[in-house]
Structures are given as C-alpha cells and as structure tokens.
A = this chain, B = another copy of it.
Amino acid sequence: MTRAMNFNAGPAALPLPALERAREELLDFAGTGMSVMEHSHRGKEYEAVHNDAIAKLRRLLGVSESYDVLFLQGGASQQFATLPMNFLSAGQSADYVLTGAWGEKAYGEGKMVAALLGGEARVAGTSGVGDGKEKAYTQVATSVNAGASAAFVHFTSNETIHGVQYGVGHELPAVGNVPVVCDMSSDFLWRGFDVARYGVVYAGAQKNVGPSGVVVVLMHKDLVARGRKDIPKIFQYRTHSENNSLYNTPPTFGIYLIRNVLDWIDQSGGLGAVEARNRTKAAVLYGAIDRAGGFYRCPVDLDSRSVMNVVWRLPTEALEEQFVSQAKKAGMVGLKGHRSVGGIRASLYNAVESPWVDALAGFMAEFAAKNG
C-alpha cells in the first residue's frame, strides 16, 4: 500500500502508528477475545481506556483539577447550541468574536438560543470585511468590546475555512473578567497552551485528536456548576461532569483512538516537538506560496496566517481545478478549498508528515513554472 498524502481539513490524516495499533487490536482488545467496540462502556477494560485518555490529555496540556475533561457527542456544531443554553440567561449577553465562518455559525446558534430562552447574542468584535455571505476574513480580530453583562466571550481560535489563526502573530485580545469560551477544533493539540486563560475550550476530534464523532471539552468547574438546571439533562454539562462522560453510552471506539493518538504524541516527543514540526511544515508551505512570484496568493495577513490550514488562490479557477486534479494524480489529496470560498487549502495537522509537505511544495514550484 502507498499511503496517500492526505491534506484533508477534517476528518483528516491520523497518525499511522495509532491506526496500526487499532488494526492490530481490532478483533482482540487486551487479550479479551473481543473488539474494544464490543466492550461495555461500564466494564473495566473500556473504563481503563477512557480514564487513560483523560489522564493523558490532562498531562499533555497541564489541565488542572479545576477543569473537567469531557468527551461528548454531536461535534463542535452542537456545542454552538449547548454553550449558550447552559450559560446565557435573561439580562445577559453571549458575546461573539467573528473571524471566520465557524464563529458566524456559533453566533447564529447563540441568536437562536437567546430568542428562545432569553438574553441576547451580540458581536463583540470582528475582522470581517464586507457584508453577510460576501464577508471576507483575512485576519484575526485584535480588539474586543465585551458587553457589561456578558456571560461569556466566544472565540474561534483557528478558522479552518478562512485559514486565520490566533496565536501566530496575535494572542487572544483581553476581555476583562468575562469567561473566554473557545472553539479550538482545528487549533487543539498542535501545541501546548495555557488552559487557565479559558473558561471553556472545545474541539471536534477529527482534526488533531482522533476520528469524527467525539468532541473534547475542557471546562472550568465553576462554569459547570453555574450552568442552567432547567434545560434537558443531556444538555447540562454537569450531567456529563458528574458521570465522567459516561452518563449515556459514549462513542467508545473514537475515544479509544484518541487514546492511541495521545500515546503517539508522547512517543513523538510530546507537544513541544509536535509544535516545532508543525511550524516547520507551515513555513515550508507559505514559503512555496510566497516564492512563486505572485502565481500563488494567500489572502490572509502575514500575522494571522494559520499554521494548521493554509489557504491560497491561483490566477484562475480553471488553474485551481487543474492544480487539484494534477496533485491528486501525484498522490496528494484533500487540497480543494472549502466550497464556500473556493481556492486551494492544505491542512497541516499533526499527522500530516513533513515529506508530504515537502512534496507539495515541490509540486507547487513545478506547477507554477509550467503554468505561470
């Protein structure tokens, strides 16, 4: 088998050793004569995996006991709804910083929840230029105007579609004493970060952490306790906190694979080494864009260029199509930009190997020479 050079935005490439381990154990987990998928979520074999994944996340990111580490279902998109359902009440606002399409989606659900349950959803900062669907995002927002009675300020620290990321040239701006809620789906676990800066961090697993179907939530226990008690039990964070994410059947195989991925990060030298590799990969790719004499054009400001999702345009859409199809023939997949914005996108998550990025950069130079 030749392994594809996979630049998918998510679901995305997984570390080969984590997959090989899953294959090895698929029919016989820990000598039990059963797949890990066939184990009860209440049995000691699965519970060991579950708790191991939580402990490893805590250790890798330095998550203190003041925070819960939860594995939930429904993806980040469901968190867009359950966060304001838990934390917004009449007389308060849920504040959103919009730096791309995903923040807009979160804000959209915030507005639905506010209209239904009381309170207000407001924009506390944006870097968008233009109106509505035409809005272009080419940088992060550097100032935030949190409401006087904001329940939280919501950020999207990396915008997967627009390729705009905090933590590269700009850190998250200050928001006063308001809890920071952050969608880190495509920004989670590619480096270490200071969890104490956040009230809530959440991330769909299918970027750097595992397969789709699990969302990882780090939530300060003060917030867990503060959540509304009059919403359905399944949507209260306290329900999952009190039950160690075993209130109902969790996506056990996904969590098992997360554990495998976390072990792989350990074996790869930890988050520091992973971060260094990721920064090198991004430098190689942005270099290939910038050295092509204008044939490739990244619309994102230098100090907001995402390390995880690199987006760029070619002179024409016809050339973009050729680029994607010729790259595919050369074994590189997942390079088509999101359908809402077009262009090219290469996602450089942890499991994307450096030689793939080198190959892509080489291909880009050739393609530019031929078509420029």
Contacts and interface: CB of A to CB of B under 8 A. Distances in A.
Interface string A314-337: 000000000000000001011000
A27 B20 contact: yes
Contacts of A214: 213
Contacts of A59: none
Interface stretch (A11-19, A288-296, A303-311): A11-19
Interface stretch (A71-79, A263-271, A357-365): A71-79
A333 B38 CA distance: 11
Contacts of A38: 6, 8, 11-14
A80 interface: yes
A249 B11 contact: yes
B34 A27 contact: no
A300 interface: no
Interface in A1-53: 1-4, 6, 8-14, 16, 19-20, 22-23, 26-28, 32-35, 37-43
A187 interface: no
A163 interface: no
Interface of A: 1-4, 6, 8-14, 16, 19-20, 22-23, 26-28, 32-35, 37-43, 73-78, 80-81, 85, 108-109, 112-113, 115-117, 204, 206, 211-214, 230-235, 247-254, 257, 331, 333-334, 339
